[in-house]
Structure 1
Amino acid sequence: MKKIFLPALLLIALTSHAQNNHSFAVHFDLDKFNLTTDATTSLDSFITVYKPGATIKLYGHTDIMASYEYNDALSLKRTTAVKNYLVSKGFTAANIIEEKGFGKRRPLNNNHGEKEMYLNRRVEIVVDEDAVKNEEPILNNETDKSLTAKIADTATTAGTNIVLQNMSFYGGTHSIMPQSLPILMELVEIMKKNPTLVIQVEGHICCQDGDADGFDIGTRTYNLSENRAKEICKYLNKSGIDEKRLFFKGYGHQQPLTPYPEKTEEERINNRRVEIKIVRR
């Protein structure tokens, strides 16, 4: 099977916070302030996007359980855990200019059920949007070609896989981030201009021992890569592409481009990706 590799954006939870800021969320287990494996993986991804010189603010939060006093202290412990991890990875403590624990005073939702409470147990990292990016592109001789050009290439035949560039999801979920819309809109136009084209959307994850899939916060199930692939097919279908031309499959960690454990962030980026396979032209 042929593969064409395009650089992928980090699959991290960056959301708009203000005109010149981005907010990144790290989540915690119930009544805990220690960083989980998922949290450190997300923080490692964050570190690759923003250099240690970035100006950062840390805001801790909890779910609704326990008293205000207890949760205020717990939320501060969570910000401290995140700060200590960032400093251990090269961030300057002086550039972390604010640390606050809001306890349960600023929930994202009504704390109805474990899913909503999990989303509230978080530390938000607010970083200046103009911070110098630290992401290095994955270079190859095809990266200058658009998705449209690759599909049009006569070398792109049935069985060819293409890694989607700039395809990004909120961390730990199958919710598509706004910056993914250009590549999805381009794919819609490609499908419309090539009415016989049939594709399979294929999701992959990184940083997991064995072949299993990742945990999806939104569904509380272990089929993250499948749900992400399915969500892209839903978008294409809603945009006018016949569902008969769309297939999806989640491979979890079955097809890593570099073996576990991934040793560098570049290896992790390569493994957590979304591809489209050309089924029929």
Structure 2
Amino acid sequence: MLISAGAVFAQTQKVTSFFFETDLSVLDEQQKEAFKQFVSELDAKDITSISILGYCDDRGRKGYNDTLSVKRANYIKTLLEEQSIVTDKVKLLSGNGKVDLANPKNITEQRAYNRRVDLVIGYISKNLGTKADILPDTLKVGDKIVLENILFENSRSVLLQESVSVLERITETIKQKKQYNIAILGHICCNPPGRDVKDFETGEYNLSQARAKIIYDYLVYKGVDPKRLTYKGMMANFPLGKGEKADRRVELQITGINK
């Protein structure tokens, strides 16, 4: 059972950063993995623009830093091409040279942060809708409802703003249908079974569980009895065979029916 989407669109952005070691213009293996994870959650058809902005820390000569920051930006563009992201949507690619220290404390951390490329993805934001009755009275224990329009920031357990109104309506329905106990199941794509991926928000490798918990926490905060709810991260153990977008999902599963 799928939640339907409306047909109102707007423009918005996703921004993330990838970090380089000193004097290098290629990512290490950990950052490469983070890049692949981020790109795996992009819906290429919705991308309207890409900006790639390279930076260096405050050490080194100006000319060297300017060149290095451009190399870093071009490297990220090459990685996008390798992941089949159409780079004719790159509207801005720039090397911005060094970033000065903001304060005299935490110099090592500041420099590590400043050795980066910011990737800014402009995309179509849909004004999403939902059917009034997503929990009909005919459901049985074990039935699942896919929340197709509950969307998150790439590689994070943070809801996109356009999903909040959808979740509000889902919450009201769950509060009304007190006969159902519900498990919230988070799924990810593009990984071997039994392995979760990193939540960029916390740094922990539990993204599927973290996304399920965000929904759980929201429902409880809005007044749903926590005794009716559970949550679980399903990792990439249950692909639907309908592509990566379908595998990145949150489901509601009926776990009990109260008489």
Q: Which of the five TM-score ranges fits, normalised by the shorter chain?
A: 0.7 to 0.9
C-alpha contact 1:165 1:183 (8 A) present in aligned 2: no
The correspondence for 1:33, drawn from 26, 29, 41, is: 26
Instruction: Map 1:23-102 to 2 at 5 A.
Output: 23-31=13-21, 33-34=26-27, 36-43=32-39, 45-46=41-42, 48-50=44-46, 54-61=48-55, 69=62, 72-86=66-80, 89=84, 91=86, 93=88, 96-102=90-96
Residues 202 and 120 (structure 1), Cα distance of their counterparts in 2 relative to 1, 3 Å cut? farther
The correspondence for 2:136, drawn from 146, 152, 157, is: 152
Name the % identity: 28
Instruction: Map 1:117-136 to 2 at 5 A.
Output: 121-127=116-122
1:240 aligns with 2:240: no
Helix, strand or coil for the counterpart of 1:150?
Answer: coil
Instruction: Map 1:1-281 to 2 at 5 A.
Output: 4-5=1-2, 21-31=11-21, 33-34=26-27, 36-43=32-39, 45-46=41-42, 48-50=44-46, 54-61=48-55, 69=62, 72-86=66-80, 89=84, 91=86, 93=88, 96-102=90-96, 105=99, 121-127=116-122, 146-154=130-138, 156-258=139-241, 267-281=243-257
Q: Of Structure 1 and Structure 2, which has the larger fraction of its residues in strand? A: 2
Alignment length (residue pairs): 239
Q: CA RMSD in A?
A: 3.7
Q: Any stretches of 5+ residues in structure 2 without a counterpart?
A: none
Deviations 1:162-190 (A, max 9, x none): 11021111112111111111221111111
Helix, strand or coil for the counterpart of 2:86?
Answer: coil
**Superposition TM-score, scaled by structure 1 size:** 0.69
Which structure has the larger Rg?
2
Q: Report the residue type matching 1:272 in the other structure.
A: R
Following superposition, the deviation at residue 25 of structure 1 comes to: 2.9
Following superposition, the deviation at residue 256 of structure 1 comes to: 1.8
Q: Any stretches of 5+ residues in structure 1 without a counterpart?
A: 9-19, 134-144, 259-265
Helix, strand or coil for the counterpart of 1:46?
Answer: coil
C-alpha contact 1:25 1:122 (8 A) present in aligned 2: no
